[in-house]
Structure 1
Amino acid sequence: MAQLALPTSIDFALPPVLRNEHGRTRTVGVEVEFVGPSAEATVQALQKALGGEIAEEDPHAFALKGSAIGDMSVELDSRILHPAKSGEAQGRVLPRIAAWFGFAASYLVPCELVTAPVPMDRLQDLNQVLTILREIGAKGTQDAPFYAFGLHFNPEIPRRDAATVAAFLKSFVLLNPWLRREVAPDTTRELLGFADPFPAEYVRRLASPDYWPDIPDFIDDYLAANPTRNRDLDLLPLLHHLDEKRVRAVLPNEKINGRPTFHYRLPDARVSDPGWSMAPDWNRWVAVERLAADREQLDAAGAAYLTFEGEDKSWANVIEQVVRA
């Protein structure tokens, strides 16, 4: 196994399509979970290092506006601790109780740091955030074996047409056995926090070189097979953005904020490890983008998958050759 490198020594790969349909550099938002310092202590440390103005939303949720690397927020990752976000009725009744409970729960409930979208060619800047978190004693996956601390990427889709949406999901499901192997969650983390893979029958449908539906059919097929946020590539925010009414007809009460991004969920944020970087996980996502951008190779990989008779771990070895080519 390769030795761990310092975060600043690992390059963030660029996707094959760097600009969106408007000619602007595509963006990506990042979410990191950790425990240790409070949300307030964390946002104060970020402000000290990066500048900006702090806005308190409640005793356990803070925003940092105008920092050197953009806006970000830090909050305890539990909706019950933020009553103003959970509905007006609760917001009138629970603030003091929620604040008290939040202080008690801060030793058990992780904090979540969320960045505003940053240009994909500036992802390296976010390593400063990891350095700040380590300096104030933030802990991650390796410090809590019974909890999966998440790392999430929210990359902007390059085009909002049906072919692009389908190509990305096709690429992801074909590469997912390899992606999950590389992430290598142990059994405990898989049980506690890793999202479920896409259903096998749906993967086979996606893999077909003949499956290139229009947006309405794609959304209908997706919702029929995946009426849930519990996927490692969660498309519901994107589909909600593309056709809110169609999504809400199936999931009227699901918490979904529509946006033109994918939501790629990873179960491993090793925040306190000085050798940990987000770059390897991001670079594996770029492998998804590269396959999605190559229609001929994508169709060939799909056809090969449909004739493959081995287990996922064996397919991971096959598809890895495509990634490494």
Structure 2
Amino acid sequence: MVESSRAESPAHKSSSAETSRAESPRAPFRRPPRPLRADGTPRRVGVEIEFMGPPARIAATALAAGLGGRVAEEDPHAFRVEGTSLGDIRVELDLRAAHPQRRAPPQGSGPGLPVRAAGRTLAAFLGPVVPREAITGPLAFDRLPEVDRLAALLHGAGGRGRGAVLLGSLGLHFNVEPPDLDAATLTGLLRAYLRREPDLRRATAAGGFLAARGLPPPFPAPYVARVLDPGYRPDLDALARDYLAANPTRHRGLDMLPILAHRDEAGVRAALPPDEKVSPRPVLHYRMPQAHVGLAGWSLAPAWNLWVGVEELAEESVPQAASPQAASPDPA
């Protein structure tokens, strides 16, 4: 969710990089080297896709027509498409003020009429320039190609956007369940991401100036140096303490706040500014990639495969005895 509007640039045109995305053969979705969780069950990933164009109601109706299911209204700018082939999908305006009923009410009372009216007015005013987002629940990795179909349905409904708008990125976020929740696994994945972050930023910014400007801020250099030190082997408490001290924000390419809050929500919230959003859940929130719903034939695979490269790098530094899962071959 965003708190401010992002105006779309009318002069933003297709770059050669965007054209190549549409014309190149679709890449397969690669599988991470450890596809199972510690309990032996398959890992999953949720997907968030931001786009411009049709109101949330129209986008939700298009998804229901293409994926099955029924549309249920939460408020005039937030809808659930229930029972689709990809499970339940949320489609909503990416603006907190548009959904006042979600704010924690005092003593169980809901938001009053003036608050709801103000939210509706603000949403109507900013709707043309604030992104919408489609959000899936957790999916098995082999269901990711079906999310390309979701993106195509949004495009067919008039969805626009090629990576960024004037005031920010149009995010393609992956909520990735890690193979384990222990400190060694999480530190290894974070370390691998930090080693790859410069390359990930260059790859994502290939769409042009707006794409580069919309990227999340990089991790602070002193924190990167600390984590990349070979002797850095924190327990979960130290990992959380160090992360929060250097990164009291969700605005990072790899947002660790959800998974840290899943373990200790009160401790994480105490370290954050009062208005910082955090949704506790056992996932790594990979939010570097950008969505290109306005580009016909766009696929999530290249962005997903860059994340798989991070996981592969993390595995390279793990002794074989400590990594019992053999890498599964990529699907054909």
Instruction: State the TM-score bracket (shorter-chain normalisation).
Output: 0.7 to 0.9
Indicate yes or no: 2:46 matched with 1:24: no
Candidates 227, 238, 254, aligned match of 1:233? 254
TM-score (norm 2): 0.83
- The separation in 1 between residues aligned to 2:270 and 2:21, in whole angstroms, is 47
Kindly indicate whether the alpha-carbon contact (under 8 Å) linking 1:8 and 1:124 is maintained by their aligned counterparts in 2: no
Kindly indicate whether the alpha-carbon contact (under 8 Å) linking 2:46 and 2:176 is maintained by their aligned counterparts in 1: yes
Distance 1:213 1:86, change over 3 A: same
The letter for the 1-side match of 2:58 is A
Greater Cα shift, 169-178 or 221-230: 221-230
Q: More helix by proportion, 1 or 2?
A: 1
Q: What is residue 285 of structure 2 aligned with on the other side?
A: 263
Distance 1:31 1:120, change over 3 A: same
Indicate yes or no: 2:100 matched with 1:83: yes
**For residues 270-293 of structure 1, what are the alpha-carbon distances to aligned partners after superposition, in whole Å with 9 as ceiling and x for unaligned?**
111113211101000000001112
- The separation in 2 between residues aligned to 1:207 and 1:154, in whole angstroms, is 24
- The separation in 1 between residues aligned to 2:60 and 2:20, in whole angstroms, is 32
How far 1:97 sits from its partner (Å)? 3.2
Candidates 132, 156, 172, aligned match of 1:111? 132
The letter for the 2-side match of 1:42 is A
Distance 1:24 1:143, change over 3 A: closer
**For residues 74-133 of structure 1, what are the alpha-carbon distances to aligned partners after superposition, in whole Å with 9 as ceiling and x for unaligned?**
111100111111243672132233223323322111101111111112101101111101
Greater Cα shift, 19-28 or 249-258: 249-258
Indicate yes or no: 2:219 matched with 1:198: yes
- The separation in 1 between residues aligned to 2:296 and 2:119, in whole angstroms, is 34
- The separation in 2 between residues aligned to 1:155 and 1:198, in whole angstroms, is 19
Q: What is residue 327 of structure 2 aligned with on the other side?
A: none
The letter for the 2-side match of 1:290 is E
- The separation in 1 between residues aligned to 2:204 and 2:302, in whole angstroms, is 9
**For residues 242-273 of structure 1, what are the alpha-carbon distances to aligned partners after superposition, in whole Å with 9 as ceiling and x for unaligned?**
22233233227332111110111135211111
- The separation in 1 between residues aligned to 2:176 and 2:289, in whole angstroms, is 17
Indicate yes or no: 2:56 matched with 1:39: yes
Q: What is residue 10 of structure 1 aligned with on the other side?
A: 27
The letter for the 2-side match of 1:201 is P
SS at match of 2:169: coil
Root mean square deviation, CA, Å: 2.2
How far 1:145 sits from its partner (Å)? 5.3
- Correspondence list, 1:129-140, <5 A: 129-140=150-161
**For residues 116-166 of structure 1, what are the alpha-carbon distances to aligned partners after superposition, in whole Å with 9 as ceiling and x for unaligned?**
111112101101111101111110126845542111111101101010010
Kindly indicate whether the alpha-carbon contact (under 8 Å) linking 1:20 and 1:158 is maintained by their aligned counterparts in 2: yes
In the alignment, structure 2 segments of 5+ residues that lack a partner are 1-16, 320-332
- Correspondence list, 1:1-325, <5 A: 3-5=20-22, 9-88=26-105, 91-92=111-112, 93-141=114-162, 144=165, 147-184=168-205, 186-191=208-213, 193-251=214-272, 253=274, 254-266=276-288, 268-295=290-317
- The separation in 2 between residues aligned to 1:133 and 1:23, in whole angstroms, is 35
Kindly indicate whether the alpha-carbon contact (under 8 Å) linking 2:168 and 2:215 is maintained by their aligned counterparts in 1: no
Stretches of 4+ moved more than 6 A in 1? none
**For residues 205-232 of structure 1, what are the alpha-carbon distances to aligned partners after superposition, in whole Å with 9 as ceiling and x for unaligned?**
1111111111011111111111111111
SS at match of 2:291: coil
Kindly indicate whether the alpha-carbon contact (under 8 Å) linking 1:74 and 1:114 is maintained by their aligned counterparts in 2: yes
Kindly indicate whether the alpha-carbon contact (under 8 Å) linking 1:25 and 1:119 is maintained by their aligned counterparts in 2: yes
SS at match of 2:304: helix
How far 1:5 sits from its partner (Å)? 4.9
- The separation in 1 between residues aligned to 2:123 and 2:252, in whole angstroms, is 28
Name the count of aligned residue pairs: 296
SS at match of 1:152: strand
How far 1:66 sits from its partner (Å)? 1.2
